A and B are shown apart, each in its own frame.
Chain A
Amino acid sequence: MALDQSFVGRTYPPTEPYEVGREKIREFAEAVGETNPVFTDPEAAKAFGHPDVIAPPTFVFSITFRAAGQVIEDPQLGLDYSRVVHGDQKFAYRRPVRAGDRLTVTSTIEAIKSLAGNDILDIRGEVHDEAGEHVVTAWTKLVARAAEEV
């Protein structure tokens, strides 16, 4: 069944702060094979003008996707998550995420479309730091494939 269009524009409450740790960044950087010391060595990061180690560009997805769970699991929306695949992903950065950040995410449903029985959901996550400054925006397109005919 097609998702309810009236959810377009709905914004969910900001998440509790996620504290970005140096060792979590290191773990992520190693998992994607990164060797740039700017992710692991504060001095190397400072040489580029960053106050502490920065995170690889896609690191923040773990935080925004967890926040998008508010939307995905909203029983009123009724998305069938077992049929969901990740369609598109985009980030726009004001500055890189870095160790010591305490980040909150505010998720908004930007669009709901139905195409050939597939439900397509666009979620925007606005990420702010503890001072309320914008850090990055993440756009996530999820596609719930049409249920098979019974």
Chain B
Amino acid sequence: MTAKIGYDDVEVGTELPARTFPVTRATLVRYAGASGDFNPIHWNERFAREVGLPDVIAHGMFTMAEAIRVVTDWLGDPGAVVEYGVRFTKPVVVPDDDQGALIEVSAKVAAKLEDNTVRVDLTATSAGQKVLGMSRAVVRLA
């Protein structure tokens, strides 16, 4: 479990490379199959509207999986993630077109902790709305 980033190489405020992740209806169908979450709000527009949603929405766990990629791609070794938590604040609405939606993720080092670990705070937005809150990872650096 060795990250390629050294503890001494980062400071509070160090920014990780930001990423934008596209999501289409096809992405959601694929994620439903891989994760086993077949809740129809993630693929059936009629059902989603019946329960008061504006349209089909992405799985919260899909957004959570995308956001941490900013951290794990920076680390090199995803096994260096010690803790990861999020709050689902707004849904990612995915229209039925070729573009779908975009999830924009940025992250920065928020605190240097003991045992070569640091806390990274993440920000995830879609269509200008914050979709994850309290989104934090603790990772072990080299």
In this assembly, does A85 line the interface, its C-beta being within 8 Å of a C-beta of chain B?
Answer: yes
Asked if residues B77 and A48 are in contact (CB atoms below 8 Å), the reply is yes
Asked if residues B85 and A90 are in contact (CB atoms below 8 Å), the reply is yes
Distance, CA A92 to CA B136, complexed state (A): 12
In the complex, how many residues of chain B place their beta carbon closer than 8 angstroms to a beta carbon of chain A?
A: 34
Which of A54-62, A70-78, A110-118 lies on the face that meets chain B? A54-62
Interface digits, B55-94 against A, CB 8 Å rule (1 contact, 0 not)? 0000011101110110011001111011111111000000
For residue B55, give the distance in angstroms from its CB to the closest CB of chain A: 16
Contacts A32-B66, A88-B87, A89-B60 given; indicate if A57 touches B36 (C-beta within 8 A): no
In this assembly, does B127 line the interface, its C-beta being within 8 Å of a C-beta of chain A?
Answer: no
Contacts A32-B69, A49-B2, A54-B78 given; indicate if A89 touches B35 (C-beta within 8 A): no
Query: Total number of A-B contacts with CB less than 8 angstroms?
Result: 100
Contacts A49-B1, A86-B61, A92-B83 given; indicate if A33 touches B34 (C-beta within 8 A): no
For residue B126, give the distance in angstroms from its CB to the closest CB of chain A: 15
Interface digits, A38-51 against B, CB 8 Å rule (1 contact, 0 not)? 11000000001110
Contact partner of B84 (CB less than 8 A), chosen from A31, A57, A86, A87, is A57
Contact partner of B36 (CB less than 8 A), chosen from A32, A36, A66, A92, is A66
In this assembly, does B7 line the interface, its C-beta being within 8 Å of a C-beta of chain A?
Answer: no
Distance, CA A33 to CA B64, complexed state (A): 13
Asked if residues A88 and B86 are in contact (CB atoms below 8 Å), the reply is yes
Interface centre among A27, A30, A32 (most CB of B within 10 A): A32
Question: 3 shortest A-B CB distances, which residue pairs?
Answer: A90-B85, A31-B34, A96-B79
In this assembly, does B5 line the interface, its C-beta being within 8 Å of a C-beta of chain A?
Answer: no
In this assembly, does B33 line the interface, its C-beta being within 8 Å of a C-beta of chain A?
Answer: yes
Distance, CA A96 to CA B78, complexed state (A): 8
Asked if residues B65 and A90 are in contact (CB atoms below 8 Å), the reply is no
Asked if residues B69 and A38 are in contact (CB atoms below 8 Å), the reply is no
Asked if residues A90 and B83 are in contact (CB atoms below 8 Å), the reply is yes
Distance, CA A54 to CA B75, complexed state (A): 15
Interface residues of B (CB under 8 A from A): 1-2, 21, 27, 30-31, 33-37, 60-62, 64-66, 68-69, 72-73, 76-79, 81-88, 134
In this assembly, does A12 line the interface, its C-beta being within 8 Å of a C-beta of chain B?
Answer: no
Chain B residues near A85: list those with CB within 8 A.
Answer: 88
Chain B residues near A54: list those with CB within 8 A.
Answer: 78-79
Asked if residues A28 and B34 are in contact (CB atoms below 8 Å), the reply is yes
For residue B58, give the distance in angstroms from its CB to the closest CB of chain A: 11
Asked if residues A95 and B79 are in contact (CB atoms below 8 Å), the reply is yes
Chain A residues near B73: list those with CB within 8 A.
Answer: 36
